[in-house]
Amino acid sequence: MPTIELENVSKFYKPKRRRKGPVHIDMGVEEVNLTIRQGEFVFVVGASGSGKSTLLRLITGETKPNQGRVCIDEKELGWMLKLSRNRAAMMFGKIWQDPTLIRKKTIGENLALAVKIAFGRENPRLVDLRIKKVLGLVGLKGVEKKYPVELSIGQCRRVELARALIASPPILVLDEITANLDDDCIWDTLHLLNDINRRGTTVVMATHDSQYVNILRRRVITMSAGRIVGDVQKGKYGDVLEREKRISPPSKFGADLI
Ligand code: ADP
Ligand code: MG
């Protein structure tokens, strides 16, 4: 049962090209220490640009830290996932901020691709069974032959959720998946995630939707300028740890780099 651990992790983005004047370095995240145990439901909140997406990409190994270590069960993630793409697919179900369904493929073909990445070549009947099962799970039976454009935005997000679940990964990482959805759709999605989490899957979800965070009362990690400034169990949107409020050393990262 995988535990995610970030030890003193920093990620900065180099400026694309040098301009005159001081070099400005975009901090993605800075000196983050974090442990997420199997089965937790974690909201990652914070203003736009505060580092939520960077944090999620560090957790899934998509982004490499410039400093520190990201570990799954005490093994460093980088080399573990470099070994194979299917290993990543078995460990993490991911949905990113922008929709990623392939428009020219049917829902069935989109999902079959995910099966191939996770399991390699499989008996087509088994592939169909897997697809049916996950589509049933997200309440979208019978849409295999449709194209993404024939579905609503909310339904497409559900298909992405189905795709994320196809290999039954122990960890789900979701980046602002409720943006652009109406209230009913958001509630349906959150109920679904709640059920999946109750069965033991870790859910790490970046969001702006304060009202849902406040109703669900799960662990809330608050980011500001790349740092974790709040980490509260059964938290609410905007909860900040007192301890963190006092300790806010100035960034020395940029100075070290130049
Ligand atoms: P959030 O998801 O909270 O909006 P991000 O993690 O996307 O925050 O961004 C954090 C900071 O890192 C921002 O200042 C952003 O401009 C910068 N950043 C993020 N991704 C990149 C990138 N690929 N290249 C350069 N800067 C980036
Ligand atoms: Mg983001």
Domain annotation covers residue 66: yes
Q: What is the mean pLDDT of residues 237-252?
A: 59
Q: Is 48 in the pocket of ligand 1 (CB under 6 A)?
A: yes
Work out whether strand 75-76 and strand 26-36 pair parallel, antiparallel, or are unpaired.
Answer: unpaired
Q: Is 222 in the pocket of ligand 1 (CB under 6 A)?
A: no
Cα 230 to averaged position of ligand 2 atoms, centre (Å)? 18
Q: How many domains does the chain have?
A: 1
Work out whether strand 219-224 and strand 41-46 pair parallel, antiparallel, or are unpaired.
Answer: parallel
Domain annotation covers residue 254: no
Among 19-33, 162-176, 234-248, name the most confident range. 162-176
Domain annotation covers residue 253: no
Q: Is 32 in the pocket of ligand 1 (CB under 6 A)?
A: no
User: Counting atoms of ligand 1 from 1, which one is nearest the CA of 50?
Assistant: 3
Q: What is the mean pLDDT of residues 222-243?
A: 88
The rounded percent of the chain whose pLDDT value lies above 90 is 66
Domain annotation covers residue 255: no
Split at pLDDT 50, 70, 90, the class of 256 is very low
Q: Is 230 in the pocket of ligand 1 (CB under 6 A)?
A: no
Cβ proximity of 253 and 24 under 8 Å: no
Cβ contacts of 153 within 8 Å, gap of 6 or more: 99, 180, 181, 185
Domain annotation covers residue 155: yes
Domain annotation covers residue 195: yes
Cα 128 to averaged position of ligand 2 atoms, centre (Å)? 33
What pLDDT was estimated at residue 121?
Answer: 87
Q: Is 50 in the pocket of ligand 1 (CB under 6 A)?
A: yes
What pLDDT was estimated at residue 179?
Answer: 85
- Please give the backbone phi and psi of residue 7, each rounded to the nearest 5 degrees, phi first: -115, 110
The residues that bridge with 46 in the sheet, in sequence order, are 223
Full-prediction pTM beyond 0.75?
Answer: yes
Domain annotation covers residue 257: no
**Ligand with the closest atom to the CA of 15:** 1
Is the model's pLDDT at 156 over the cut of 90?
yes
Q: Which two tokens stand for residue 86?
A: 């299917």
- Please give the backbone phi and psi of residue 216, each rounded to the nearest 5 degrees, phi first: -75, -30
Q: How far apart are CA 124 and CA 112, in angstroms?
A: 9
CATH number at residue 208: 3.40.50.300
Cα 11 to averaged position of ligand 1 atoms, centre (Å)? 10
Is the model's pLDDT at 47 over the cut of 80?
yes
66-97 pLDDT, tens digit each: 999 999 988 888 766 666 677 788 899 999 98
Give me the domain span that covers residue 12.
4-17+25-247
What pLDDT was estimated at residue 253?
Answer: 43
Residues 22-57 as b/e (b if ≥16 CB within 10 A, e otherwise) read eeebebbbbbbebebeeebbbbbbbeeebbbbbbbb
What pLDDT was estimated at residue 23?
Answer: 63
Cβ proximity of 192 and 161 under 8 Å: yes
Domain annotation covers residue 31: yes
